[in-house]
Amino acid sequence: MDLFEYQGKQFFARYGIPTSPGGVAETVEESVRQAVAAEFPAVIKAQVQVGGRGKAGGIKIAGNEEEARAHAQAILGMDIKGHLVKRVWVEHASDIAKEYYASYTLDRSAKLYLLMLSAKGGVDIEEVAATDPGAIVRRHIDPVGGVDREMLEEAVESAGIDPEARQGVADVLEALYRAFVEGDADLVEINPLILNTAGKVHALDAKVTLDDNAAFRHPEWAEWAKTVEYDGRERLAKERGLNYIGLSGSVGIIANGAGLAMSTLDVVNQVGGSAANFLDLGGGASADTMAAALEVINTDENVEAVLVNIFGGIVRCDEVAQGILEALNRVELRAPMVIRLDGTNSDLAREILAPHVSPRLVVEGTMLAAARRAVEIVNENKGA
Amino acid sequence: MSIFVDETTRVVVQGLTGGQGRFHGLRNRDYGTKVVAGVTPGKGGTDVDGIPVFDTVEEAVAVTGATASFVSVPPRFAGDAVLEAAKAGVSFVVCITEFIPAKDEAYFFNLLRDEYPGTRLLGPNCPGIISPGKCNIGITSGDIALPGGPVGIVSRSGTLTYQAIHELSQQGVGQTTCVGIGGDPVPGTSFIDCLAAFEADPETKAVLMIGEIGGADEEKAAAFIAEHFSKPVVAYIAGQTAPPGKKMGHAGAIISGSQGTAKAKMDALAEAGVIVAPNPTAAGEAMVEIVHKLS
């Protein structure tokens, strides 16, 4: 789960990472109240999960109530790269002396945690990584031993953090590590981490990705989960326990297992088609799961053919075939379906499906043949 | 021969009394695997279809001589279960549990690496391992595998592993061992671990490798193959047209750079002399051809 900035700051606050005083608002009047409470000058920041909101006009400084009202009016409801601004975060504007960058994440390749720290913050850090990689200090951390003060102080010095900020930055790094580990985050990133003109170090932004697998030990996340934005179909799929990602093509894909589903996308593409979605049924493929998958795909008007690709291991193909027929009784499918069932009891499955075969229900023996047939159906539609 | 597990492997199932553990544990035994014990705290002294259940792995090992463990417990208990097996001296731990928090995974991976070097972990979130005709630990359907080699399979994806096994078996090409390393961020056993073991196994004459987008394990495997691997390898990378995965902020993009894409992996493998197939069927066909040339 990706947190909005204001949620990230709430998350940081739990672990003692200093941020500017402020509050979240969904209306213009609430924004003005928050600005008054934070004291002017106040900064009004669009809450969207996409980079470049400053350039898009989503961050404005207000010197008084009038300006706060005008800015909030302009920003709330704004569209930033396809993201609708529903909320703003309002905080006291900081007098920035220096801007730094700090993050912790898991380095999958090293199988260790990774601290990245730079004295060049406040700008696109990927740009810094590309043009001046030496400006980013990287330190691997063994999850068993964790961080110690000495190592953090060394990193702070190596990164060229200004002497007057070193103590404060090391404090933040210590607290940020706790937030990363105890908070079960996949990523914690502060850009910029600032030194203000009063000599204090604090987080001006917050980018946090939480590990959904750890939700069971964080009941406090429930409030943030409510603001996660899905499109209608993704929400429907999630409610049915399906692993679904919407795409823009015309072949609806249903497969069991993420690898097989990805592979089905590849093969459809290789035979000249394009997938409308990625949908992984998971291990089982019961009539209920299949019906749920068909319902989800049925709501996608771009779908002109449905490709069902199942490999039966422990789940037997004859059970899956029965499940498909039962699901088709419950859901009236708009597009023709091409089925490929392979693995345990696939012969039996073909026998079960045989009496139902029609131009709208096609059975193929291999993944490649099934993908070709699905793409043919799409092309025939286009020709007609 | 085979790698990691064979007919002498004695398996304790952690979570044997649970629904999944019982289902797969008994299936593994039916296949011929020596499933000698189960462990569920508080249920010691009972049995599951004749398999004795103990309170701790230590007791199970002491009484039954178990050498491998099959961990099938809910995500919140999985880390402790893996460490308990390592502490009890079990040398091979297969963890099929899905949805384990990444912090737990990173922690127990490094603790095993530092303090229990004698224990190899396979998984988590993996289908398991099968040495056809000898030992099957996990959720792979034994029926589709064909004993006798000469192909070793290593894969990050469950269903694609079955697909690969099936395609080879149907052409009469057997397998020495099929290892599903799982697709989680911190897998206990990597492609390289499996390749090194296959290199050392005289009966494995060729290896079929199935990778996925994300991470850098396939790129590392490519470098290993170029340097240390003498047998033919066929590879398929799933996700060539997959939507970009969850973006881990800027930090993730910086670590991986261009690594992690299907193209980067395929290019690296091809450069290492691996036959890279565009889809699983083509990979199976390429492997069958290699095996026919070998004999």
pLDDT digits (tens, 9 = 90+) for A272-317: 999 999 998 876 667 888 889 999 999 999 999 999 999 987 788 8
Distances (CA, A) of A367 to A302, A321, B282: 22, 16, 11
Does residue A375 share a domain with residue A259?
A: yes
Question: Quick one: which of A1, A80, A21 has its CA closest to A46?
Answer: A80
Nearest chain A residue to B107 by CA distance is A143
pLDDT band for A355, please (50, 70, 90 cuts).
very high
- A184 at B interface, C-beta within 8 A: yes
For A271, the domain range is 232-383
Cα separation, A324 vs A307, in Å, equals: 12
A7 domain-assigned: no
Does residue B169 share a domain with residue B90?
A: no
Q: What is the pLDDT of residue A50?
A: 83
Does residue A215 share a domain with residue A105?
A: yes
CB within 8 Å: A108 and B259? no
CATH code where residue B223 lies: 3.40.50.261
Option in B159, B217, B220 nearest A311 (CB): B159
Q: What percent of chain A has pLDDT over 90?
A: 74
A374 domain-assigned: yes
CATH code where residue A367 lies: 3.40.50.261
CB within 8 Å: B103 and A129? no
- The C-alpha of A44 sits at a distance from chain B's nearest C-alpha, in angstroms, of 22
A199 domain-assigned: yes
CB within 8 Å: B242 and A209? no
Mutate to test the interface with A, among B107, B255, B281 (most CBs of A within 10 A): B255
DSSP secondary structure, A257-289, as one string? SHHHHHHHHHHHHHTT--BSEEEE--S---HHH
Q: What is the pLDDT of residue B256?
A: 53
Does residue B142 share a domain with residue B115?
A: no
B63 domain-assigned: yes
From B67, B94, B122, give the residue that closes a domain.
B122
Does residue B136 share a domain with residue B106?
A: no
Phi, psi of B194 (to 5 degrees): -70, -40
From A71, A92, A113, give the residue that closes a domain.
A92
Q: Which residues contact B115 (CB under 8 A, 6 or more apart)?
A: none
| Stretch A178-207: mean pLDDT | 96
Cα separation, A364 vs B5, in Å, equals: 37
A324 domain-assigned: yes
From B122, B143, B173, give the residue that closes a domain.
B122
Cα separation, A318 vs A344, in Å, equals: 8
- A284 at B interface, C-beta within 8 A: no
Phi, psi of A270 (to 5 degrees): -65, -25
Does residue A184 share a domain with residue A86?
A: no
Whether residue B110 contacts residue A144, with contact meaning beta carbons closer than 8 Å, is answered with yes
Q: What percent of chain B has pLDDT over 90?
A: 80
Q: What is the pLDDT of residue B249?
A: 46
A13 domain-assigned: no
Amino acid A192 reads P
B2 domain-assigned: no
Tokens, residue B77? 């208990």
Distances (CA, A) of B247 to A176, A193, A209, A325: 20, 22, 10, 38
Does residue A102 share a domain with residue A79?
A: no
| Stretch A90-117: mean pLDDT | 95
- The C-alpha of B246 sits at a distance from chain A's nearest C-alpha, in angstroms, of 10
- The C-alpha of A31 sits at a distance from chain B's nearest C-alpha, in angstroms, of 28
Does residue B113 share a domain with residue B141?
A: no
CB within 8 Å: B157 and A260? yes
A49 domain-assigned: yes
A12 domain-assigned: no
Q: What is the pLDDT of residue A182?
A: 97
pLDDT band for B243, please (50, 70, 90 cuts).
low
Cα separation, A89 vs A205, in Å, equals: 11
Which tens digits make up the pLDDT trace of B197-226?
999 999 999 999 999 888 889 999 999 999
Does residue A120 share a domain with residue A48?
A: no
Does residue A112 share a domain with residue A82?
A: no
Option in B103, B110, B236 nearest A184 (CB): B103
Minimum mean pLDDT among A173-187, A317-331, B4-18, B100-114: which range? Answer: A317-331
Domain count, chain B: 2
Does residue B191 share a domain with residue B229?
A: yes
B3 domain-assigned: no
Does residue A207 share a domain with residue A275?
A: no
Helix (H, G, I), strand (E, B) or coil at B122: strand
Within B88-231, residue ranges assigned H as helices are 102-115, 158-170, 191-200, 217-228
Name the residues of B annotated as catalytic. Answer: 250
Phi, psi of B54 (to 5 degrees): -120, 165
Question: Quick one: which of A118, A132, A127, A206 has its CA closest to A162?
Answer: A118
From A225, A249, A270, give the residue that closes a domain.
A225
Does residue A60 share a domain with residue A183?
A: no
Which tens digits make up the pLDDT trace of B111-166?
999 999 999 999 999 999 999 999 999 999 898 999 998 999 999 988 888 889 99
Does residue B163 share a domain with residue B273?
A: yes
Task: Show residues of chain B in contact with A143, CB under 8 Å.
Answer: 103, 106-107, 110
Domain count, chain A: 3
From A184, A201, A225, give the residue that closes a domain.
A225
Cα angle, residue B115 at apex, residues B114 and B116 outer, rounded to 5°: 110
Pairing relationship of beta strands A305-312 and A251-255 according to DSSP bridges: parallel
Amino acid A157 reads E
Does residue B139 share a domain with residue B273?
A: yes
Task: Show residues of chain A in contact with B103, CB under 8 Å.
Answer: 143, 181, 184, 211, 214
From B98, B122, B146, give the residue that closes a domain.
B122
A5 domain-assigned: no
CB within 8 Å: B139 and A267? no
Does residue B133 share a domain with residue B100?
A: no
Does residue A374 share a domain with residue A252?
A: yes
Option in B185, B246, B279 nearest A267 (CB): B279
Query: How many alpha carbons fall within 13 Å on the CB side of residue A338?
Result: 25
Does residue B116 share a domain with residue B44?
A: yes
Helix, strand, coil shares, percent, chain B, to 5:
40, 20, 40
Which tens digits make up the pLDDT trace of A135-155?
999 999 999 999 999 999 999
CB within 8 Å: A112 and B110? yes
Nearest chain B residue to A367 by CA distance is B281
Name the residues of A annotated as catalytic. Answer: 101, 189
Q: What is the pLDDT of residue B242?
A: 72
For B66, the domain range is 10-122
Q: Residue for token digits 């029609």? A: A358
